[in-house]
A and B are shown apart, each in its own frame.
Chain A
Amino acid sequence: MITVSLNEIYSETYKALRSVNIEWSLAKDCANKAKWLAQHGQNFLEQILKTAVLYQKHDITISINENTNEKPVASALVALLLVEYVSANRITWEGYIDSTKFLLAAMGIIAEEQHIYLILENEKKELVAFTKNKTIYVNSNLDTNVKSYCFLKKYDFIKKKNIKFTSLKKNKDIIRLNDKCWDQLKSMAFKTYVPESETSKSGAGY
Chain B
Amino acid sequence: MDFHTSQNKLDYNHPLRPPSEVMKLDRLGSFHQTRLSFARRLIDDLKYQKCKIEIDQWNIDFNGIGNAIIKIALKNETLSLVIFCHSISDEERTDRVIAEKWDMTFSLLRGIPNKHELNKLSKNLKIQESGRHNSKQLTLSRANKSQRIFEKVLTDLSVGKQPSEKLINDVGYLIRTTAVYGNGKFGIGDFSNKDQSIFLEKPFQAEMLTVYLVRYFSIELINFLAKQKGGKNSVTLSKHLTKHLGVGNATGLGMAPFLVNHQELIHQWIYNREKALSRVFSIKRLDKKTQNKIIHYINQAFKYSLQWKVDDKLQSKRIKELNLDLKKILQNEKLTKLLNFHYPIKRFFDFFKNDITLETQEILNSIFIEPFPKLIKDLINNMGAEEKKSVLIGYTVNDILEIIKDNFNWAIKIDTTKPEENYCFWYTSQTKLEPRLGIAKKDAGIEKQLPFDIAHQIKKAVNILNKLPSNMTAAEVMINQPELRNIIKRIIINKSMPYSEIQNNLIGKDMKPIDILRCKLSFFGASKFDPKSNLWTRITLFQGAPLPNELWKTNVNDWLFPNLSAV
Q: Is A110 an interface residue (CB 8 A)?
A: yes
In the complex, the answer to whether B474 meets A203 with C-beta atoms within 8 Å is no
CB-defined contacts of A140 to chain B, threshold 8 Å: none
Q: Is A25 an interface residue (CB 8 A)?
A: yes
At the interface with chain A, which of B163-171, B181-189, B268-276? Answer: B181-189
In the complex, the answer to whether B482 meets A205 with C-beta atoms within 8 Å is no
In the complex, the answer to whether A203 meets B436 with C-beta atoms within 8 Å is yes
CB-defined contacts of A82 to chain B, threshold 8 Å: 479
In the complex, the answer to whether B436 meets A194 with C-beta atoms within 8 Å is yes
Mark interface residues in B369-400 (1 if CB within 8 Å of A CB, else 0).
00000000000000000001111111000000
Q: Is A206 an interface residue (CB 8 A)?
A: yes
Contacts A3-B187, A24-B486, A26-B485; A205 near B178 (Cβ below 8 A): yes
Q: How large is the interface on B (under 10, 10 to 19, 20 to 34, 35 or more residues)?
A: 35 or more
Bound-complex Cα distance A166 to B443 (A): 53
CB-defined contacts of B442 to chain A, threshold 8 Å: 199
Mark interface residues in A103-127 (1 if CB within 8 Å of B CB, else 0).
0001001100110100000000000
In the complex, the answer to whether B392 meets A203 with C-beta atoms within 8 Å is no
Shortest C-beta distance, B37 to chain A (Å), equals 23
Q: Is A84 an interface residue (CB 8 A)?
A: yes
A194 touches which one: B134, B445, B473, B483 (CB < 8 A)? B445
In the complex, the answer to whether B482 meets A78 with C-beta atoms within 8 Å is yes
B479 touches which one: A85, A106, A195, A200 (CB < 8 A)? A85
Bound-complex Cα distance A89 to B438 (A): 42
Interface size of A by CB at 8 A reads 51
Q: Nearest A residue to B250 by beta-carbon distance?
A: A205
Bound-complex Cα distance A205 to B538 (A): 9
Shortest C-beta distance, A150 to chain B (Å), equals 16
Q: Nearest A residue to B393 by beta-carbon distance?
A: A88
Q: Is B433 an interface residue (CB 8 A)?
A: yes
Q: Nearest A residue to B435 by beta-carbon distance?
A: A203
In the complex, the answer to whether B444 meets A173 with C-beta atoms within 8 Å is no
Interface-central residue, B185, B429, B483, B486, by most chain A CB under 10 Å: B429
Q: Is B252 an interface residue (CB 8 A)?
A: yes
In the complex, the answer to whether A64 meets B479 with C-beta atoms within 8 Å is yes
Q: Is A5 an interface residue (CB 8 A)?
A: yes
Interface residues of B (CB under 8 A from A): 94-98, 134-135, 178, 183-190, 192-193, 250-254, 388-394, 427-434, 436-439, 442-445, 448, 451, 473-476, 478-479, 482-483, 485-486, 489, 513, 532-533, 535-536
Interface residues of A (CB under 8 A from B): 3-8, 15, 18, 23-26, 28-29, 32, 36, 62, 64, 78, 80-85, 87-89, 106, 109-110, 113-114, 116, 173-174, 190, 192-197, 199-206
Q: List 29 A-B contacts (CB under 8 A).
A: A3-B187, A5-B190, A7-B184, A8-B184, A8-B187, A23-B483, A24-B451, A28-B486, A80-B389, A80-B390, A81-B475, A83-B390, A85-B479, A88-B475, A88-B476, A110-B390, A114-B390, A173-B193, A174-B135, A194-B428, A194-B430, A194-B445, A197-B438, A199-B437, A200-B431, A204-B431, A204-B432, A205-B96, A205-B97
